[in-house]
A and B are shown apart, each in its own frame.
Chain A
Amino acid sequence: MGPILALAGKSLWSRKGSALLTVLAIALAVGLFLGVEKTRQGARAGFNATISGTDLIVGARTGQLNLLLYSVFRMGDATAEVSWPTYQWIGERDDVAWTVPLSLGDSHRGFRVLGTTKEYFDRYKYAGGRELALTEGALFDDLFDAVIGADVARDLEYELGAPLVLNHGLGRAGLQQHDDRPFRVVGVLERTGTPVDRTLHVSLEAITAIHVGWETGTRNPLSSTISEEMIRGFDLTPKTVTAVLVGLERRGSILSTKRAMDTHRGEAIMAIIPGVALSQLWDLTSAAERALIAVSLFVVGVGLISILTSILTSLNERRREMSVLRSIGAQPSHIFLLLVLESALLGALGALIGIAVVNIGLWVGGPVLTELYGLVLAGVSAGLLDIQVLAAVTGAAAVTGILPAWLALKRSLADGLSVKI
């Protein structure tokens, strides 16, 4: 097979113009298919790895997905909050082992701010049970301490002790700033590959503190007369929280606890099971995913047809070449193999380029997706899927080459040494 493979390579190289176009068609097709598939798998893996160990998430009554997205993935906004008494009611239930309040709504230079308790750092688990850890510093202790995620530290080049001011509301450039209540970075978290990396964590009381004088939704001009010392003396227990992470005493009670919360009479709240809500998300997206994959498979098919066309059109002008090869002892099977290998080489080259482009694209574009949409892609580096796609496309291209190879074989048998051109 060695000499035939070398011949196939040189034959393609001699037709590098048309071969390149065919290879590009395959590369585009493979790139489209692999890009869709890797983004889909990466998004799923990223979402699935974002939260574990939390049995229920409780928030104001809304859509199941909306609650999941804003509380865990920092996507979208809460339409209503959970009152503090209701939060306390949840925590005092016998079937509830622990609760962690989440208060969202402010930001800092495009990164979300989360008000919570220190217990958050013990209870929040990701990637199948891994715990949050600090790379440097400590958890917040003072009222105006902030613990920042790995991406926040990297992108904003913040180190321990760096001062920062929160924006009121969301968005990269908030209209109003809480510049009268500056914070200080006291800790930096290890990278997790989850939205935690892009979050600034402060105490629940700090969220209350910076909103003293903002009760109407905008800053009261007199609020500047309230000193930091005065604020520290206030009761900073919040009136509301955005959502609550809940751990149960027994996981067996999850449905009954969920029902109790969904039917709570005092306030319209709901509880979701994170895994179930994620399944709903995948159900919603699966139809679109299937359509995208079908389209990309069609494009792969078109690429394979372009291989077929390019080899078939060259077949007639290559009859003398086949006769020459036969005259020096090439068997009909060698002629067959030559054309199948040419087809397989075109497929393999196209697939390799497509795989390389997708992997480089995801490597470069992954962080952009995370920054723009908070979408974390996990496990999208080159791996088994790439090898499977390479093998499948090469195999399919080889199979595509069977038709022209068979035609060439038949003609070379009929032509013998005396093809008339």
Chain B
Amino acid sequence: MAPKTVSLTDVEFAWDKRQPPLLKIDAFGVDRGEHVFLRGPSGSGKSTLLGLIAGVLTPTSGDIQVLGQDLSGLSGGARDGFRADHMGVVFQLFNLVPYLSVAENVALPVQFSKRRKTQLDGSLADETHRLLSALGLEGRDLLSRQARNLSVGQQQRVAAARALIGRPELVICDEPTSALDSDSRDRFIDLLSAEIARHQASLIFVSHDAALASRFDRAIDLHDINTASAATLEPTF
């Protein structure tokens, strides 16, 4: 049987090891091609969990496997390389490098991953154009526009195209629709889900908006899997 896309076992995480853990997850998994909705209030540790799965943070203890690869067995650089090869990330806001054009932003992951470059459907320009069109951004002239000149909705769709280029197996979305109105939000989720399904990738979609849960294969409340008793607010910098 093929390994799960994401598998967490007995994972604990604390910003300060002397403090009680913020996250304590006995078991959590995402199957191949599964679209999971992860809900939780602000400060409950959703972004921290995504940081652990993305390999940016390392757990205090426990085992995190992504596509069968034990992340804690990799060095920091190797985890970054693994993320570049296999994951796409969409944030809530400020997703783009402001001084790059739309096309340059979408192409960024390919600059850091040879694997994703080889997995392009056709040329980079063709794939960029196709993804943006599929996400509702038409027009070649848009490609050369600077990211900072786009509306929030357009920026989110460019970020989605960037997360999808080169067919990564896992797409992580951290409240990508919270700045959108309800029409834009629904349309964005539909387009994103369709593209991810086309690639047979897995999706972890984090939001505090429970109304979105029905649009995904499975919905999980972070409180149900996080047994930490001291789920304090995440630190801010």
Interchain nearest-CB distance for B237 vs A (Å)? 6
Asked whether B85 lies within 8 Å of A329 as measured between CB atoms, the reply is: yes
Partner-binding segment picked from B2-10, B27-35, B108-116, B184-192: B108-116
Within 8 A of A (CB), among B85-99: 85, 89, 91, 94-99
Interchain nearest-CB distance for B99 vs A (Å)? 3
Q: Measured between alpha carbons, how far is A293 from B197 in the docked complex, in Å?
A: 67
Interchain nearest-CB distance for B145 vs A (Å)? 13
Identify which of B47, B81, B234 contacts A329 (C-beta below 8 A).
Answer: B81
**For residue B180, which residues in chain A have a CB less than 8 angstroms away from its CB?**
none
CB-CB under 8 A for A416 and B111, given A14-B98, A327-B91: no
CB-CB under 8 A for A324 and B95, given A416-B57, A417-B56, A418-B174: yes
**For residue B100, which residues in chain A have a CB less than 8 angstroms away from its CB?**
7, 10
Cβ-based interface call for B76 (8 A) = yes
Q: Measured between alpha carbons, how far is A7 from B54 in the docked complex, in Å?
A: 23
Q: Measured between alpha carbons, how far is A324 from B94 in the docked complex, in Å?
A: 8
Query: What 0/1 pattern do residues 41 to 83 of B give for CB contact below 8 A with A?
Result: 0000001101100101100000000000000000011001101
Identify which of B99, B112, B234, B237 contacts A330 (C-beta below 8 A).
Answer: B112
CB-CB under 8 A for A328 and B162, given A3-B111, A417-B50: yes
Q: How large is the interface on A (under 10, 10 to 19, 20 to 34, 35 or more residues)?
A: 20 to 34
Interchain nearest-CB distance for B43 vs A (Å)? 11
Query: What 0/1 pattern do residues 319 to 344 of A give for CB contact below 8 A with B?
Result: 01101111111111110000000000
Asked whether A418 lies within 8 Å of B112 as measured between CB atoms, the reply is: no
CB-CB under 8 A for A325 and B97, given A3-B111, A420-B236: yes
Asked whether B80 lies within 8 Å of A329 as measured between CB atoms, the reply is: yes
Asked whether B51 lies within 8 Å of A328 as measured between CB atoms, the reply is: no
Cβ-based interface call for B170 (8 A) = no
Cβ-based interface call for A415 (8 A) = yes
**For residue A329, which residues in chain B have a CB less than 8 angstroms away from its CB?**
80-81, 83-85, 109, 112-113
Q: Measured between alpha carbons, how far is A419 from B236 in the docked complex, in Å?
A: 8
Chain A CB within 10 Å, residue with most, of B54, B99, B234: B99
**For residue A14, which residues in chain B have a CB less than 8 angstroms away from its CB?**
98-99, 146
Cβ-based interface call for A11 (8 A) = yes
CB-CB under 8 A for A324 and B81, given A3-B111, A329-B113: no
Q: Looking at chain A's contact residues, is the secondary structure mostly helix, strand, loop, or mixed?
A: helix
Asked whether B54 lies within 8 Å of A417 as measured between CB atoms, the reply is: yes
Identify which of A321, A330, A415 contacts B80 (C-beta below 8 A).
Answer: A330
Asked whether A3 lies within 8 Å of B112 as measured between CB atoms, the reply is: yes
Asked whether B47 lies within 8 Å of A328 as measured between CB atoms, the reply is: no
Asked whether B237 lies within 8 Å of A417 as measured between CB atoms, the reply is: no
Chain B CB within 10 Å, residue with most, of A14, A321, A418, A419: A418
Asked whether A328 lies within 8 Å of B89 as measured between CB atoms, the reply is: yes
Residues of B within 8 A of A (CB): 47-48, 50-51, 54, 56-57, 76-77, 80-81, 83-85, 89, 91, 94-100, 104, 108-109, 111-113, 146, 162, 174, 234, 236-237
Known: A15-B99, A416-B56. 11 other contacts (CB 8 A): A3-B111, A7-B100, A10-B99, A10-B104, A326-B56, A329-B109, A331-B77, A417-B51, A417-B56, A417-B174, A418-B234
30 A-B residue pairings within 8 Å (CB atoms): A3-B112, A7-B100, A14-B146, A15-B99, A320-B94, A324-B95, A325-B97, A326-B56, A327-B56, A327-B83, A328-B83, A328-B89, A329-B80, A329-B113, A330-B84, A331-B76, A331-B77, A331-B80, A332-B80, A334-B112, A411-B237, A415-B237, A416-B57, A417-B91, A418-B47, A418-B50, A418-B51, A418-B174, A420-B237, A421-B94
